[in-house]
Structure 1
Amino acid sequence: MRDNSYDRTIERNYLQKWRFLIPEYEAVKAGRSALFKRVGDFYRHHGTCSQTFRKYYNRYLQSGEEADLLPRRRGPKWRERREPEGIEAEIVAHRKRGMNRYEIHAVLRETRQTVPSPITIYRVLRRYRLNRRTLAMREEKRRIIKDKLGELGHVDLHQLPRDMFLAPPPVTAYIISLIDSCSRLAWAEVLISKKALPVMFKTLKMINTLNVTYGLIFQEILSDNGAEFAARTKPDEHPFEAMLLELGIKHRYTRPYRPQTNGKVERFWRTLDDDVIEGATFDNLDHFANELFEYLLYYNNHRPHQALAGQTPKAFAATKTTAIQSAN
């Protein structure tokens, strides 16, 4: 039986056809053809369409090789779609630091031009049986997040209940707090308006207090999307946004209806409620402000923090400062 595996008759017929069609097509385009006035007549006469003809024609013009006039193998180009060399090791290393697939994708984009999609990263993790985060990964991520003082601050506004005062203020009272994500150093101020301007002044006071007392310099501040913090348009005209722009602090926003994004300051509200507010009665707003000031000194300087392995926020910040000075 004859072996036709290496018969090139079909290829020769293809090339012979294209050697005839290309000069005729170019003649029609230049208006020199005696048979066809329009390109559409040329396509219909030869039983083809513009998409198919131009696909092969443009491919031939780009390379100049007749081999590009032949049909190519269909299906996924798996050789071209494989992950770049060495990227799997990077994905595994980032995963062991506790990152999820979206965080890994964002980190890889900073150093590589070709980056696999998050779903491809997930397939790599599943291949290495790292698709579920272990306790060691979570602990490593917590350690990395608490790596730099002032890297991220959490700010939020909280309404005070009126029944905690013997002489309630004539208007609704609020408390605003700013807490450092790394050291848990925190400060809070009392205010009687949740408009953007007084919120801006109180936040500026807290930033200065934490800077002068503990040496904190914030790089980013995370807040919710309330009108007192965020501007829908023209952030340079919004008091809070303009203040952060002037100080060179990046403003980040929580996901809407997702208070867990700002979880550290939400947890601080619970601590403050348990230690100061719940079950207590204050003469007036000034009395509460004085008690709050004394508690903040205790919280930062003397109260052990569970997330800091039993250290106080001030002591933990001191260890970070010493480590930075030693590295320099």
Structure 2
Amino acid sequence: MRNINNDLTLKRNYLSKYRFLIGEYEQVKRGEHPTFRFAKDFYSAHDTDARAFLKYYNLFKQTGNELDLLPGKRGPKYGSRRPSPEDEQQVLELRDRGCNKFEINSLLKQKANNFTPSPSGVYNILKRHNRNRLKPTDREVKVKIIKERMGQLGHIDCHHLSKSVIRGQNRKLYLLCVLDDYSRLAWAQVMEDITALSTMFTAMHCMQALKREFGIQFEEIIADNGPEFGTSASLNKKNHPFERMLMETGIKRRYMKPYRPQTNGKVERFWRTLKEDLIEDTIFASDDFYFKGSRDSLETIMAKGRAELVTVTKEFETWLTVYYPEKDDTWVTLWYTEKWTDKTGKKDSLNYIDDVLLKNGKIVEYKENVRHYVAKK
């Protein structure tokens, strides 16, 4: 088999093509070309880019060497941009403190020097020194936030919901949650956008609800550095809606370090709980949430009129109230835990939820596979 590793056919063809183009181009510039009057006609006819052609043409004119017409390798030479040992030592010292690549990048940017590697550059340095994986002894000692009373510190965060979270709709929705650090009491509210103004009003409603329901008055609030909450480096905090709201209500704002969501870990864990216990097993038919639950002995009230169910007690695990849709010949949802006594004196109960079919005020059928209830304030 013929060895083609040293075949220079492409090189010869490339140089031959450029010799022809240079001759044509110089004829055009002298006004002697029989076909092309302007250089743009020459570029268009030969389907070449003016910038690329002039780059190699001018380089060839300066050196007179035809090899300069050949395209060279792009980018810096291998190893020419390798950081110095002193710069790499800075990265390793920060790694000794348990910092990850994003934290090292952020800390080096704050120093008054020209060495600011990207997170990928930091990783490459750590990999060369076999420090890309932390050992248990190198891991950073985590500082826990422990408060002594309710309201001493509040956590706030925004969460993006899936566009398909509501059945039959495709729009962006967000959740904002305010959580008390000491008691873990949380209040969340749906938002249609996460602008600073919407965030300010929603946060104010959540804090007012926690104060009204549980008597929690926050002294400090901690949030990330997102634009909806404002950054610590901002010089115009008085004009930011969320920052101004905290100033007017006498609440101190605390800022998180970049790339440290663990600082706001309590509310981040709340999002996981909300997703696992509510959103993943839930059908939402509107902005009102539908929670799934369990069913108990619905057969005992089949074909009984609602007027025959005399309520004795109602037990709730949430702040919700009973809601009966006043509809006939349609599926409705019972979503409370209710104990009742019928006219015969027999006691029974319905746990949490069930989809039932009402006809003429009577429950005549129920769905075994569809069990949820609607949340109404």
TM exceeding 0.5: no
Higher strand share: 2
Higher relative contact order (CA 8 A, sep 6+): 1
Larger radius of gyration: 2
Calculate the TM-score normalised by the size of structure 2.
Answer: 0.38
Calculate the TM-score normalised by the size of structure 1.
Answer: 0.44
